[in-house]
Chain A
């Protein structure tokens, strides 16, 4: 088992954002969390990193309890995140951005890793010495994914990767997620509002509402489910 969250509660001050969430991610799976704004999707992802920390419950990653591990040490255990809104370093070059992803990786792997990322995203190689802030939104998202991959993570977290992108890039990003999984065996936890795309690409999914998991099942099951259709897919893409 790659990741197991058990009865996790989390608070933002007085707001009870997660109310006993159980989530499991197996090795080699794509798991998606869908839900409306404010359902607690991003909170769940942040609580993996201890910000806010789980007030009760347990988070086990790769066989080790990481519930109380300080935030900056968690990513060094093999979790990489593609943050919401991409959060690339705009005044630094594409190359420097990729380098930032390797802050705690073995420098010996650098050449191999950057080759792998460039092979996946040829545009990044063409733009290597360009300032990252001058890239288009979709390219920035690729850079954020590439940066996360540079640390050779065991688990890749993607927080709303399709947010604010042109439709053509949304398609491309989900295609990339699938490729990462099938060709590179990457385990992915994907948080999305774009339920339709997310459920189609995911093996399994969870529906989050008011800080609780209200539905769980395979991607196909959830896509077919009446409740999911009514709540998240009507009028969708």
Chain B
């Protein structure tokens, strides 16, 4: 009731004052332990000192900040309300297309522009790994609507499959890639079977457990995985058999000698970047195509209403398992790339935080939106990177950004859903005849 009234009429100064005072009060409560008290080292003993001046400044800043923020928000809102209502044309699909091509162009051009900046290309590679993982998880969470909190398990399966195939049998990246994908898909089905009947929260808890089980096995089964010490010296991928080494083995050629270039460490970095770009793009094409096939529509229908799916004669078991298997396979591919890029893997890289980050990318991107995943991955990987200068406030910034996205875009950055089928002109014309 009161909310409705407040939204309608202009705020009186008294109301603004009250609103800001309330915020200042909360700031005071939070600020007493966080700002008002500090520990000081006094001759080896720890003493608590008070910083009331600073606390006062903190509360004052909250008060003034809230006052100004509220005022600006109201100005914006009233200006928006004053504008005459315009019939909105929905340009979202075209806009998405334009943004999509722009992002693709930028990502192709990036290593050319920053060809000497290793940090930029490394970070971009990390973004792309998360984009690929996000697209993989999007199949399970975004399309099929199965909340998976243990996605990192498949990433780990892919990475360890490559590492073990190399260390025991000397397999190369390209040989291990399909096998690791198949292995991860198998694990996806293994996980899928026992949890077919679970939904929502229960499903989330079991998948969370599955992710932890894989990690704990990797830590403890020392004979297989070398435990917490991890597996090292995993070879980098080659370009059609051309390695990126400074000194190629006798009688073979490296990338640099083959093309008659001077050796540069950057070649490998740029190659890895383009490799993950290609893998990610293939993933995108694959998932977008699947979405327009009956299986993809079945996934989405499953997300919408499982009972209706059954009534339509769908074999819900197969639909769910296919979503788990394909999502897992894509995660496995990303895992192989990760192992090859790092050259060293250990269970440390596959913690729950990773699962949470990937899930956050899918959710913040807007469930089911492919481009949304890209934007969210950019935000979630770049923000902590940019925040490095703020060291201890880094996670605070990160959290604030996530809260802001959810406040302004509750459905994710790109919440609109692209239909999988357009109006068939022939049918429409015939129908009117």
Query: Chain A contacts of B312 at CB under 8 A?
Result: 75, 100-101, 103, 147, 151
A2 at the interface (CB under 8 A from B): no
Contact A96 B313 (CB under 8 A): no
Contact B297 A96 (CB under 8 A): yes
Shortest distance between the CB of B363 and any CB in chain A (Å): 16
Kindly identify which residue among B311, B316, B424 contacts A75, using a CB–CB cutoff of 8 Å: B311
Contact B304 A72 (CB under 8 A): no
Contact B313 A103 (CB under 8 A): yes
Contact B294 A103 (CB under 8 A): yes
Q: Which of A50-97 contact B (CB under 8 A)?
A: 51, 71-76, 81, 83, 87-93, 95-96
Q: Measured between alpha carbons, how far is A119 from B427 in the docked complex, in Å?
A: 11
Q: Measured between alpha carbons, how far is A114 from B427 in the docked complex, in Å?
A: 8
Contact B301 A100 (CB under 8 A): yes
Q: Measured between alpha carbons, how far is A87 from B306 in the docked complex, in Å?
A: 9
B18 at the interface (CB under 8 A from A): no
Q: Measured between alpha carbons, how far is A87 from B297 in the docked complex, in Å?
A: 16
A232 at the interface (CB under 8 A from B): no
Shortest distance between the CB of B298 and any CB in chain A (Å): 7
Kindly identify which residue among B294, B305, B420 contacts A87, using a CB–CB cutoff of 8 Å: B305
Query: Chain A contacts of B421 at CB under 8 A?
Result: 93, 95-96, 99
Contact B300 A88 (CB under 8 A): no
A225 at the interface (CB under 8 A from B): no
A101 nearest in chain B by CB position? B312
Shortest distance between the CB of A233 and any CB in chain B (Å): 30
Contact A87 B424 (CB under 8 A): no
Q: Measured between alpha carbons, how far is A104 from B315 in the docked complex, in Å?
A: 11
Query: Chain A contacts of B305 at CB under 8 A?
Result: 87-89
A125 at the interface (CB under 8 A from B): yes
Contact A99 B297 (CB under 8 A): yes
Contact B297 A115 (CB under 8 A): no
Query: Chain A contacts of B431 at CB under 8 A?
Result: 114-115, 118-119, 125
Contact B430 A115 (CB under 8 A): yes
Kindly identify which residue among A49, A74, A89 contacts B301, using a CB–CB cutoff of 8 Å: A89
Query: Chain B contacts of A101 at CB under 8 A?
Result: 312
A37 at the interface (CB under 8 A from B): no
B406 at the interface (CB under 8 A from A): no
Contact A89 B422 (CB under 8 A): no
A136 at the interface (CB under 8 A from B): no
Please, what's the 1-or-0 string for B271-312, where 1 marks a CB less than 8 Å from any CB in chain A? Answer: 000000000000000000000001001101101110111111
B432 nearest in chain A by CB position? A125
Q: Measured between alpha carbons, how far is A49 from B305 in the docked complex, in Å?
A: 17
Contact B423 A129 (CB under 8 A): yes
For this complex, into which size category does the number of interface residues on chain A fall?
35 or more
B314 at the interface (CB under 8 A from A): yes
Q: Which of B105-164 contact A (CB under 8 A)?
A: none
A128 at the interface (CB under 8 A from B): yes
Query: Chain A contacts of B303 at CB under 8 A?
Result: 91
B85 at the interface (CB under 8 A from A): no
Query: What total of chain B residues lie within 8 Å of the partner, measured CB to CB?
Result: 31
B2 at the interface (CB under 8 A from A): no
Identify whether the interface residues of B are mostly helix, strand, loop, or mixed.
Answer: helix
Given A89-B301, A99-B297, CB of A74 within 8 Å of CB of B423: no
Contact A111 B316 (CB under 8 A): no
Contact B313 A75 (CB under 8 A): yes
Contact A88 B308 (CB under 8 A): yes
Contact A71 B426 (CB under 8 A): no
Given A96-B421, A125-B431, CB of A89 within 8 Å of CB of B311: no
Q: Measured between alpha carbons, how far is A73 from B314 in the docked complex, in Å?
A: 8
Given A76-B313, A103-B312, A119-B431, CB of A95 within 8 Å of CB of B297: no
Shortest distance between the CB of B370 and any CB in chain A (Å): 16
Contact A72 B314 (CB under 8 A): yes
B417 at the interface (CB under 8 A from A): yes
Contact B426 A87 (CB under 8 A): no
Please, what's the 1-or-0 string for A100-131, where 1 marks a CB less than 8 Å from any CB in chain B? Answer: 11011000000100110011000001001101
Kindly identify which residue among A51, A71, A96 contacts B419, using a CB–CB cutoff of 8 Å: A96
Q: Measured between alpha carbons, how far is A207 from B309 in the docked complex, in Å?
A: 29
B389 at the interface (CB under 8 A from A): no
Contact B427 A115 (CB under 8 A): yes
Contact B314 A129 (CB under 8 A): no
Most buried by A among B298, B421, B428: B421
Q: Measured between alpha carbons, how far is A83 from B297 in the docked complex, in Å?
A: 20
Q: Measured between alpha carbons, how far is A111 from B423 in the docked complex, in Å?
A: 12
Query: Chain A contacts of B417 at CB under 8 A?
Result: 91, 131
Q: Which of B382-433 contact A (CB under 8 A)?
A: 417, 419-424, 426-428, 430-432
Query: Chain B contacts of A128 at CB under 8 A?
Result: 423, 428
Contact B422 A129 (CB under 8 A): yes
Please, what's the 1-or-0 string for B309-332, where 1 marks a CB less than 8 Å from any CB in chain A? Answer: 111111110000000000000000
Given A87-B305, A99-B297, CB of A49 within 8 Å of CB of B424: no
Q: Measured between alpha carbons, how far is A81 from B312 in the docked complex, in Å?
A: 8
Query: Chain A contacts of B424 at CB under 8 A?
Result: 111
Kindly identify which residue among B297, B301, B419 contacts A129, using a CB–CB cutoff of 8 Å: B419
Query: Chain A contacts of B430 at CB under 8 A?
Result: 111, 115
Given A83-B308, A95-B421, A114-B427, CB of A89 within 8 Å of CB of B300: yes
Q: Measured between alpha carbons, how far is A128 from B311 in the docked complex, in Å?
A: 22
Contact A91 B304 (CB under 8 A): yes
Shortest distance between the CB of A143 and any CB in chain B (Å): 11
Contact B304 A90 (CB under 8 A): yes
Nearest 3 CB-CB pairs, A to B? A75-B313, A89-B304, A87-B308
What are 16 residue pairs bridging A and B, where the CB atoms are less than 8 Å apart in the complex? A49-B310, A49-B311, A71-B310, A74-B313, A83-B307, A91-B304, A92-B304, A93-B421, A95-B421, A95-B423, A99-B421, A103-B298, A111-B427, A115-B427, A119-B431, A147-B312
Given contacts A128-B428, A129-B423, 11 further A-B contacts (CB under 8 A): A83-B308, A87-B311, A89-B305, A96-B421, A103-B314, A111-B424, A114-B431, A115-B427, A128-B423, A131-B417, A151-B313
**A interface list, Cβ under 8 A from B:** 49, 51, 71-76, 81, 83, 87-93, 95-96, 99-101, 103-104, 111, 114-115, 118-119, 125, 128-129, 131, 147, 151
